[in-house]
Chains A and B, each alone.
Chain A
Amino acid sequence: MTTQKTSLPRQRAFLVDVERCIGCFTCAMACKNYYHQETGVVWRQLYPLDEAIYPHRERAFFSLACNHCENPACLNACPVKAYEKREDGVVVHHQDRCIGCGNCIRSCPYGAPRYNPVLKKAEKCSLCHERLDAGKQPACVQSCPVRALRLVDIAALSTTDAANAVQYPAGYPEMPQVNPSTRFIMPRTPRVVRR
């Protein structure tokens, strides 16, 4: 990922290429490896697609974390301004300001903010902005062995990606009021020859 110094990305986002994704949970564990969340607190999770969407159980997945929405419900609901939307679109939760009221957790339609029972505060995917600022990829993106999870600027999606990418695939709630940034490429099925 090369970022042009002259023009800051307008909306950084995850591109989840479900066609390539092998459901290996590497991205989810890479996040734990980097942040060591409390037991039970997961920032990135893999969700197997329902068989109505992909005909083979647990063979296609959505890898989901915070969507870094254009109009974040968490930010709007937070009474103490613990949330910030950066210029590059990353939605940052400042835990030092958080009072643990849970408004963000209740308001996010995608369930991204999680409750940390030890700190008694919220937390969520930071898109590794501290790594981005140091010129590194987010931990999950760097970890993906098949480049199924990518960091893109949706304001400047390449034509190929834009043509294939969808915002609201089947199985993913449609929430235009927050305008989630994550984009998806849907999986295909093999020709199955059974006995």
Chain B
Amino acid sequence: MSRRSFLKGLIASGALATLPCGLLLPRNASAAPFNKADFQIFRNACPRNCYDTCSIVTYVRDGVVRFVEGAPESTYTAGGLCVKGYSYPRRVYSPDRIKYPMVQDGRGSGNWRRVSWDEAMERIARKLLEIKERDGNLLGLALTKYSGNFGITNYGVEGMMSSLGYTTRLVGTPCWPAGIDAQNYDLGDMWCNDPEDMEKSRYVIIWGANPAWCSVHSMKYVYAARDRGAKIVVIDPVLTQTSAKGDVAWQPETGSDGALALGMARHVLDLGLVDRDFVANNAVGFEEFAAYLRQNVTVEWAAEKSGIPADEIRRVAEEFATARPATIWIGYGMQRHVNGGAAVRAIDALVAMTGNVGKVGGGARYGHLQTWGFNYHAMIQKAPAGSIGFTGKAGPKGEFDVTAGAAAAAAYTDRALNINKTAQELLDAQNPPVRVLWSSCKNPFAQDFDRNKLEKAFNKLEMVVSVEQFFTETVRHSDIVLPVTTLFEEWTVNASYWHYWVSLNEQAIAPMHEAKSNIEIAALLSKHMNRLSPGSCTYPQDIDTKEWMEKEFNKGVYDLLGITHWQDLRKGPAKAKMPSSASWSDRKFKTPSGKYEFRSDLCASHGHKALPEYKEGRKPYAPYRLLTPHSKFAIHSQFANLDWMEEFQTEPFVYLNPALARAKGIADLDTVRVFNPIGEVKLRAKITNTVPGDCLLMYEAWFRKLNFNVQNLVDDESADMGAYKTGAPGVAIHDQFADVARA
């Protein structure tokens, strides 16, 4: 059948609108009868670094994703997704998607031209061989990758680097490192209760988290607890959407969380509400902590530091200590401070001294990696024989570094640079300098700090390769862009760091345009490297993404999930079988003492205090605190650029307290300048009492039609902790300051 007659046939059968060339053009807006049998149904999983890591059911007809829903099998997603998840069909078929490899003649010039995959890869391979020849090693090649796609097979990006030799890696995480270290000092690991057991709590404190926006599926457990009589207390300097749903909303001084927790701990101590059995039998250092509290902490002091009245602190502390079980959800917001790790330790201590660690419905909830025991086959690759690498301090790691220790015996390592100081590290790296940067699963210009400095750093690079789906600001600063598949176009598997469901991600449609998955890109690069210089890359040259799924699973994962083969997950997501919904239910902690450590000598040996003592915050360098938290319409820079999302979010705003607006002569919806020593942005202001009088609030986002970037104003000041477990300290994203004026 010729193409012409095929098309005629389609017109006759009324199926033309379903051809991929007219993807997602609106159908007739009259509702058509729904028949499940009209669709092929696939399993997908949202891979975008979110608590919820939703399990998706994808409805495909004629090779086109028609719509998505949440998997009903997961009690966590329970048939639903979030506003971002439901925009996925548009993401796949967005007219803005990068369709084929492109080369930009003159970085930032906009002079893009289409090239073949072969031409793009040959260009990159020649450049890599050239710098290897010049430097005698490949440390001039740096990888920056983070959480744009957490699908397990995407660790093949790291594997691709390893297969080339020893390279430079931007390591660490801007996300949660200070808290990870804190929980490791206190408990020996980061391990949270199943969020589904929050409904059994009698008292819930949500501290520096905003699940109503950032973990929508967790809110039903918060509501369930409240429906069963629990009180919900939300602590956040901003009256967030979650605060509005609580019974009590505390708006303390930003960064005073440690003082507040210690004040509450002192009151619990004074009232004699300490769980004596737990602190005597399951913990070390409690008496020292108690002595510290008695000598250094009073409720009045905590009130002064935090601005929360002493009587209020006493009331909540007492209610928390007498409700059993009681729990605190420690968010990733409150630890993004120069004293964030110390604050998490203080909160852990409050939960532990009230005997709520290890209890169903209790717990100091932060995150977990219990369901991440995959093989990381895509990642674990050998350097070519004779590779020369770095001989300085230990090489990179990350919070998902499951291969820890494997490379210990090697003579060389990769070179580690702090991802939270990307701009400065790229500028400073020497012998050799970073010459080529490979960016994948990440948008550095939206995620890395001090955008102006980052531009200088990029200007020093000899080649920038971006693996992307959209023309982001990072792509604009690249020489070559390679189109990468969406979740619907590849096989992978996804686990959450919050709930305990693991979901298969099936390839539901053929890759759009010329997109390739990260592991296919690695294979293609390997082919070109070896053609030009045999033996220069160990990555397999032919891979089948489905076959590679097989290589990621092992008996441990199967047993944990209660399945015998990964294909069982095609029937639906599986939940890890844990001895209890409570973490640490056997009270065997992974600390050096095997007990909960109010006093951590390990913490002290890393240059911090042994006890969870109060640590001062960062000194202001501009008149107002600048907060740049997550929006509900985006995950960092992802999703806000879709026209479907623009129906609901058209532009960014800076949110100001009425008193501050009055003082500055700013009226609602006025255009203003927000500025500080590192940069400025212009946007419109919304006046609201949800923001305290000394704060400026702007949400992270990427608007494809606007020149707006919160990173113009955020510097790279480090948090106190993070280096122990994630390879680099966290970043004090919320210890930022700025001024505002009418534009």
Which residues of A lie under 8 Å from residue B78 when comparing CB positions? 145
Q: A32-B644, A57-B689, A192-B249 known; A130 and B33 CB under 8 Å?
A: yes
- Which A78-132 residues have C-beta < 8 A from chain B? 92-96, 116, 118-119, 121, 123, 126, 128-131
CA distance A36 to B645 in the complex (A): 12
Q: A20-B223, A55-B689, A145-B217 known; A119 and B87 CB under 8 Å?
A: no
Tell whether B31 is near chain A: CB-to-CB under 8 Å. Answer: yes
> Closest B-chain residue to A137, C-beta based?
B79
CA distance A56 to B80 in the complex (A): 27
Tell whether A190 is near chain B: CB-to-CB under 8 Å. Answer: yes
Which residues of A lie under 8 Å from residue B252 when comparing CB positions? 195
CA distance A194 to B239 in the complex (A): 9
Contact with B along A59-83 (1 / 0, CB 8 A): 1100000000000000000000000
Tell whether B574 is near chain A: CB-to-CB under 8 Å. Answer: no
Tell whether B454 is near chain A: CB-to-CB under 8 Å. Answer: no
Q: Is the CB of B33 within 8 A of A146?
A: no
CB distance from B16 to the nearest CB of A (A): 16
By size class, the interface of chain A is 35 or more
> Closest A-chain residue to B30, C-beta based?
A95
Contact with A along B568-605 (1 / 0, CB 8 A): 00000000000000000000000000000000000000
Tell whether A134 is near chain B: CB-to-CB under 8 Å. Answer: yes
CA distance A95 to B28 in the complex (A): 8
Tell whether B269 is near chain A: CB-to-CB under 8 Å. Answer: no
Q: A33-B87, A130-B32, A144-B80 known; A191 and B248 CB under 8 Å?
A: yes
Q: A22-B216, A36-B26, A42-B647 known; A195 and B86 CB under 8 Å?
A: no
Tell whether B536 is near chain A: CB-to-CB under 8 Å. Answer: no
Among B24, B220, B633, point to the contact of A25 (Cβ < 8 A).
B633
CB distance from A69 to the nearest CB of B (A): 18
Tell whether B312 is near chain A: CB-to-CB under 8 Å. Answer: yes
Q: Is the CB of A193 within 8 A of B249?
A: yes
Tell whether B314 is near chain A: CB-to-CB under 8 Å. Answer: no
Q: Is the CB of A59 within 8 A of B690?
A: yes
Q: Which of A123, A142, A193 has the most CB of B within 10 A?
A: A193
Q: Which of B31, B82, B86 has the most CB of A within 10 A?
A: B31
Which of B66-74, B154-162, B414-422 is near enough to bind chain A? B66-74
CA distance A145 to B84 in the complex (A): 13
CA distance A24 to B688 in the complex (A): 19
Tell whether B6 is near chain A: CB-to-CB under 8 Å. Answer: no
Tell whether B494 is near chain A: CB-to-CB under 8 Å. Answer: no
CA distance A96 to B242 in the complex (A): 44
Q: A23-B241, A57-B690, A59-B690 known; A190 and B219 CB under 8 Å?
A: no
Which residues of A lie under 8 Å from residue B389 when comparing CB positions? none
Which of B128-136, B170-178, B303-311, B442-450 is near enough to bind chain A? B303-311
CB distance from B290 to the nearest CB of A (A): 27
Contact with B along A9-33 (1 / 0, CB 8 A): 0000000000010111110111011
Q: A33-B67, A39-B647, A134-B35 known; A24 and B216 CB under 8 Å?
A: yes
Tell whether A35 is near chain B: CB-to-CB under 8 Å. Answer: yes
CA distance A40 to B28 in the complex (A): 16
Q: Is the CB of B219 within 8 A of A34?
A: no
CA distance A126 to B27 in the complex (A): 14
Among B27, B28, B31, B70, point to the contact of A129 (Cβ < 8 A).
B31
CA distance A193 to B250 in the complex (A): 5
Q: Is the CB of A193 within 8 A of B248?
A: yes
Contact with B along A122-159 (1 / 0, CB 8 A): 01001011110110100100111111000000000000
Tell whether A37 is near chain B: CB-to-CB under 8 Å. Answer: yes
Number of A-B contacts (CB under 8 A): 183
Q: Is the CB of A192 within 8 A of B251?
A: yes
Among A24, A38, A56, A121, point to the contact of B690 (Cβ < 8 A).
A56
Which residues of A lie under 8 Å from residue B35 when comparing CB positions? 134
Q: Is the CB of B30 within 8 A of A192?
A: no
Tell whether B692 is near chain A: CB-to-CB under 8 Å. Answer: yes
CA distance A61 to B234 in the complex (A): 20
Q: Is the CB of B307 within 8 A of A36?
A: no
- Which B226-249 residues have C-beta < 8 A from chain A? 234, 239, 241-249
Q: Is the CB of A130 within 8 A of B34?
A: yes
CA distance A39 to B25 in the complex (A): 10
CA distance A4 to B242 in the complex (A): 37
Q: Is the CB of A146 within 8 A of B220?
A: yes
Q: Is the CB of B246 within 8 A of A190?
A: yes
Which residues of A lie under 8 Å from residue B682 when comparing CB positions? none
CB distance from B380 to the nearest CB of A (A): 37
Q: A33-B67, A143-B86 known; A22 and B213 CB under 8 Å?
A: yes
Q: Is the CB of B28 within 8 A of A22?
A: no
Among A24, A42, A60, point to the contact of B244 (Cβ < 8 A).
A60
Q: Is the CB of B34 within 8 A of A136?
A: yes
Q: Which of B36, B239, B687 has the most CB of A within 10 A?
A: B239
CA distance A120 to B432 in the complex (A): 63
Among B24, B29, B34, B83, point to the contact of A95 (Cβ < 8 A).
B29
Q: Is the CB of B36 within 8 A of A134?
A: yes
CB distance from B545 to the nearest CB of A (A): 26
Tell whether B102 is near chain A: CB-to-CB under 8 Å. Answer: no
Q: Is the CB of B83 within 8 A of A57?
A: no
- Which B379-414 residues have C-beta < 8 A from chain A? none
Tell whether B319 is near chain A: CB-to-CB under 8 Å. Answer: no
Q: Is the CB of A119 within 8 A of B29?
A: yes
Q: Which of A55, A121, A192 has the most CB of B within 10 A?
A: A192
Q: Is the CB of A56 within 8 A of B244?
A: yes
Q: Is the CB of A35 within 8 A of B29?
A: yes
Which residues of A lie under 8 Å from residue B647 when comparing CB positions? 28, 32, 39-40, 42
CA distance A185 to B643 in the complex (A): 32
Which residues of B lie under 8 Å from residue A26 when comparing CB positions? 80-83, 86, 216
CA distance A10 to B583 in the complex (A): 49
CB distance from B370 to the nearest CB of A (A): 23
CA distance A191 to B244 in the complex (A): 9
Tell whether A177 is near chain B: CB-to-CB under 8 Å. Answer: no
Q: A59-B244, A190-B246, A195-B306 known; A29 and B251 CB under 8 Å?
A: no
Q: Is the CB of B312 within 8 A of A193?
A: yes
Q: Is the CB of A36 within 8 A of B24?
A: yes
Q: Is the CB of A25 within 8 A of B632?
A: yes
CB distance from A32 to the nearest CB of B (A): 5
Tell whether B686 is near chain A: CB-to-CB under 8 Å. Answer: yes
Which residues of B lie under 8 Å from residue A55 when comparing CB positions? 689
Which residues of B lie under 8 Å from residue A174 when comparing CB positions? none
Q: A22-B213, A39-B647, A59-B690 known; A34 and B67 CB under 8 Å?
A: yes
> Closest B-chain residue to A60, C-beta based?
B244
CB distance from B240 to the nearest CB of A (A): 8
CA distance A25 to B285 in the complex (A): 47
CA distance A194 to B242 in the complex (A): 16
CB distance from B11 to the nearest CB of A (A): 18
Q: A119-B28, A134-B34, A194-B307 known; A143 and B80 CB under 8 Å?
A: yes
Contact with A along B260-276 (1 / 0, CB 8 A): 00000000000000000
CB distance from B303 to the nearest CB of A (A): 9
Which residues of B lie under 8 Å from residue A189 when comparing CB positions? 244
Q: Is the CB of B241 within 8 A of A59?
A: yes
Which residues of A lie under 8 Å from residue B645 when comparing CB positions? 29
Tell whether B253 is near chain A: CB-to-CB under 8 Å. Answer: yes
Nearest first, the 10 A-B pairs at minimum CB distance are A195-B307, A123-B29, A22-B212, A95-B30, A57-B688, A29-B86, A59-B244, A33-B86, A145-B216, A130-B31
Cβ contacts A to B, 30 pairs, < 8 Å: A25-B648, A26-B80, A28-B83, A29-B645, A30-B80, A32-B647, A38-B26, A55-B689, A57-B686, A92-B31, A94-B30, A95-B28, A116-B26, A119-B29, A123-B29, A130-B33, A133-B33, A134-B34, A139-B67, A142-B70, A142-B79, A142-B80, A143-B79, A143-B86, A145-B220, A189-B244, A192-B243, A192-B251, A193-B308, A195-B252
Could you tell me which B residues sit within 8 Å of A by CB distance? 24-36, 67-70, 78-84, 86-90, 212-213, 216-217, 219-220, 223, 234, 239, 241-253, 306-309, 312, 632-633, 643-645, 647-648, 686-690, 692
